[in-house]
Amino acid sequence: MDLTRQDCILTNRIIAAGPFQSLVLGTVLFVSLPLGLSAWAVVPSESLLPLTTRGYLSIDDIDTLSLNWQQTQLGQLIQDESMRPFVQDMKRQLQSKMASVRDKLGLELGDLKGIASGEIGLGFVERKNDRAALILTVDITGRKSQTDALLRQVDHELKKRGGKKSQIDASGTTFVSYDLPPQREGGIRHEALFFIKDNMLCASDNRFELEEVSRRFGNQPGNCLYEAKPYQETMRRCAKEANQLKPEIRWFVNPFGYARACRSLRRSGPRRFGKDYLKILTNQGFDAIEGMGGYVNVSPSGNYELLHRTAVYAPSQVTKPGADSFQDKYRLAMRMLEFPNGKNLIPQDWLPRKLATYRTFNINLFGAFKSFGTLFDAIAGYEEAFDGVLEGLQKDPYGPQVDVEKDLIAHLGNRVTMVTDYEVPITTKSERFLFMVEVKDEQAVHKTIEKFMKSDPNAYQREFEGKVVWEIIEADDEVPELDISISPLEPLAPADIEESQDGTEPAIPTSAVCVTDGHLLIASHYSFMKTVLARKPIDGSLVDTSDYREMNSALSRLISGPVSFRCFLRTDEAYRPTYELLRQGKMPESETLLGRILNRMLTPPEDEDEGVLRKQKIDGRELPSFEMVRRYFGPAGLIVRSEDDGWFIAGATLNKQAPQARAVITPPADQSAIR
């Protein structure tokens, strides 16, 4: 697949969309580079970047990464000729949405393919009372002539923008600086600076930070990223779990520091009003999450397509003796995030096999409920707002008259499950989901739910295979027009709403609630509830399917023992609704989870605050039918272990082959067998 240098960029907001989404984007952009690079780091970028680095990405060997990527099924899909127009269009839209390294430094990471002989490192640095800085480091050992050619190209580009060139000597290092005027309305004046030292090309848009980088050569102490405790902890844990399996990609984020750094780059203009959720979450104790970082391996061995490990570091916020329990270690709403490890997280045997995704986790629901009030009050903007809601539910003569804590929360268990599926033909509302919460006292929960439903004028009691199901008809917000007819009309009865004229699907969108088999079930669609409640699942149960068993076995070799979270995705089924909407030109209207993420990324800045429905700018009309690309999407999974000061996450995507064609996956004696 021939690619121009425009195809491969890395933005100065590499993790702004969230670490996992941006990791995928960064991987796709990087691994599309042509082959032919060797990797041997001279000075690790983690030793050159400052302690205040809030976002970090490192590619150790782009040659290996590119080769491995091209061996994956997703890499093959991107190189498929039938996908070329879409891939090029998608990259162009992402590039126009996000500011690139080119905007800052006059080059793109695609330009580095001819000069990088080792690690490429990128850091996003928070600066007190100043704009965040971008720092790029490249090992150019043995590539002097290619590097000189690239710098001449950069010189031409920056001078074309009106940059004023000068040379600076600092601490024995010669810097080349370009003073650049604003390039667009609302832009600012900034510098682009470069130096070469000890076979390393270093660049930044901040003079002070680049001077500090130059002083860190020679292993001299200098408050570098490597010395940051959150960085050390996340990398140490990933290295331990990887057991000598070297990653192609490493990444790290200080989430709250990164958010602050991103804010510093906002263009000048009218002040944005609304809730300051960064401040709210910080005040509620979520800043206990000091860092998250991970290892990524592409096509490491066997039928693995992608293997990733992530450590989340959240040390105790309380130093008093005896603060051993989760509730004692953290403040306010942060205490909601207690996910106890357990042994039994296999799918319920009555779940149907035809599901797109399955997620299940343990959570201290009672503790989460008790800790939620302060967060609710902070978002509402006044104290005791949550208590007021609870009091209304208990004492309002027109309400359910339920004591939520005593009548509901106290009778719930600690396991929550969510499954998703979709209906065909694909529409913007095709995705369906169902939540399940284990209950300790089914009769008590049933009684409470009945009170809630009877107080809702849009809820109607049904019966399906001997089970009581409450169907909630979606309310019409519009005031109906007065309709005077010659002949009397009977009012629309609930029984008339249930089915359409052909007797197959509800004429009006409905959701459903049911308490049965030790679970509280809440479904987005009444029809989906009936599918799950069927006494004998059609075509068998999820737990018996070969792809689930294979994924479960693969995850068990990554993390053994009790865990707090398990996730299984059939990526072909999970991605199909979004893919079909792209083909139909209806992506901006998508209500699927993936669709909403893509819409958020592709919405122009001027429309974000106004809530304007964006126009679809990616042409999906020439995409091949989904049946032709389905073979490229294999099963994926995720597993999480809660630890004393955070969480450890491991996940994988498997190659999609016929199960009988694959080697049998058996847990190795140690994880070095994965290599």
Residue (of 289, 384, 388) closest to 336 by Cα position: 289
Amino acid identity at 279: K
CA angle (241 as vertex; 238, 244 as ends), nearest 5: 90
Residues of the domain holding 75: 5-272
Return the higher-pLDDT residue of 162 and 474.
162
pLDDT at 111 over 80: yes
Q: How confident is the model at residue 606 (pLDDT cuts 50, 70, 90)?
A: very low
Q: What is the C-alpha to C-alpha distance for residues 329 and 4, in angstroms, rounded to an integer?
A: 52
pLDDT at 131 over 50: yes
Q: What is the C-alpha to C-alpha distance for residues 203 and 136, in angstroms, rounded to an integer?
A: 5
Q: Which residue, chain included where needed, has tokens 């309002």?
A: 396
| Average pLDDT for 190-209 | 95
pLDDT of residue 599: 52
Q: Which residues pair with 293 in a beta bridge?
A: 252, 311
Residue (of 431, 439, 416, 434) closest to 530 by Cα position: 434
Least confident of 9-18, 214-223, 522-531: 9-18
Residue (of 336, 315, 318) closest to 328 by Cα position: 318
pLDDT at 491 over 50: no
pLDDT at 675 over 60: no
Position 27 in a domain: yes
Cis bond before residue 50 (omega within 30° of 0): no
pLDDT of residue 413: 96
Q: What is the C-alpha to C-alpha distance for residues 249 and 122, in angstroms, rounded to an integer?
A: 12
Q: How confident is the model at residue 303 (pLDDT cuts 50, 70, 90)?
A: confident
Least confident of 451-460, 489-498, 510-519, 613-622: 489-498
Using CB atoms within 10 Å of the CB of residue 131, give its burial: 0 to 12 exposed, 13 to 18 middle, 19+ buried.
Answer: middle
Position 242 in a domain: yes
Q: What is the DSSP string of 96-112?
A: HHS-BHHHHHS--GGGG
Calculate Rg over the CA atoms of the chain. 28
Torsion of CA 199, 205, 211, 215, to 10 degrees: -50
Least confident of 8-12, 234-238, 498-502: 8-12
- Sequence-ordered list of residues with C-beta below 8 angstroms from that of 10, at least 6 positions apart, any chain: 26, 29, 30, 57, 100, 101, 108, 109, 122
Quick one: what percent of the chain has pLDDT higher than 70? 76
Q: What is the C-alpha to C-alpha distance for residues 121 and 35, in angstroms, rounded to an integer?
A: 18
Phi and psi, residue 355, nearest 5°: -130, 150
Could you count the other beta carbons within 10 Å of the beta carbon of residue 367? 18
In tens, the pLDDT along 30-87 reads: 333 333 333 334 789 999 999 999 999 998 887 788 888 888 888 888 887 777 777 7
Q: What is the C-alpha to C-alpha distance for residues 138 and 501, in angstroms, rounded to an integer?
A: 66
Average predicted confidence (pLDDT) for the chain? 81
Position 173 in a domain: yes
Position 137 in a domain: yes
pLDDT of residue 29: 39
Return the higher-pLDDT residue of 36 and 263.
263
**256-282 burial: b if 16+ Cβ within 10 Å, else e:** bbbbbbbeeeeeeeeeeeeeeebebbe
Least confident of 254-258, 361-365, 656-660: 656-660
Q: What is the C-alpha to C-alpha distance for residues 581 and 592, in angstroms, rounded to an integer?
A: 10
Tokens of 501: 């004229």
pLDDT at 273 over 80: no
Q: What is the DSSP string of 293-327?
A: EEEEEES-STTEEEEEEEEEE---S--STT--SHH
Position 57 in a domain: yes
pLDDT of residue 443: 96
Q: What is the C-alpha to C-alpha distance for residues 619 and 602, in angstroms, rounded to an integer?
A: 13
Residue (of 131, 381, 67) closest to 263 by Cα position: 131
Position 293 in a domain: no
Tokens of 359: 């997620």
Q: How confident is the model at residue 467 (pLDDT cuts 50, 70, 90)?
A: very high
CA angle (76 as vertex; 57, 140 as ends), nearest 5: 35
Least confident of 115-124, 452-461, 470-479, 482-491: 482-491
What's the structural domain count of the chain? 1
pLDDT of residue 66: 81
- Sequence-ordered list of residues with C-beta below 8 angstroms from that of 474, at least 6 positions apart, any chain: 458, 508, 509, 510, 511
Q: How many CA atoms lie within 13 A of 474 on its CB side?
A: 11
pLDDT at 395 over 90: yes
Enter the DSSP assignment of 404: I
pLDDT at 361 over 70: yes
Tokens of 267: 């263009």
| Average pLDDT for 152-159 | 95
Position 358 in a domain: no
Least confident of 50-54, 171-175, 597-601: 597-601
Q: Which residues pair with 342 in a beta bridge?
A: 563
| Average pLDDT for 272-281 | 85
Q: What is the C-alpha to C-alpha distance for residues 82 and 68, in angstroms, rounded to an integer?
A: 22
pLDDT of residue 114: 83
pLDDT at 128 over 50: yes
In tens, the pLDDT along 521-556 reads: 999 999 999 999 987 666 789 999 999 999 999 999
pLDDT of residue 510: 85
Distances (CA, A) of 476 to 161, 508, 513: 55, 10, 20
Could you count the other beta carbons within 10 Å of the beta carbon of residue 86? 20
Q: How many CA atoms lie within 13 A of 543 on its CB side?
A: 8
Position 60 in a domain: yes
Amino acid identity at 199: N
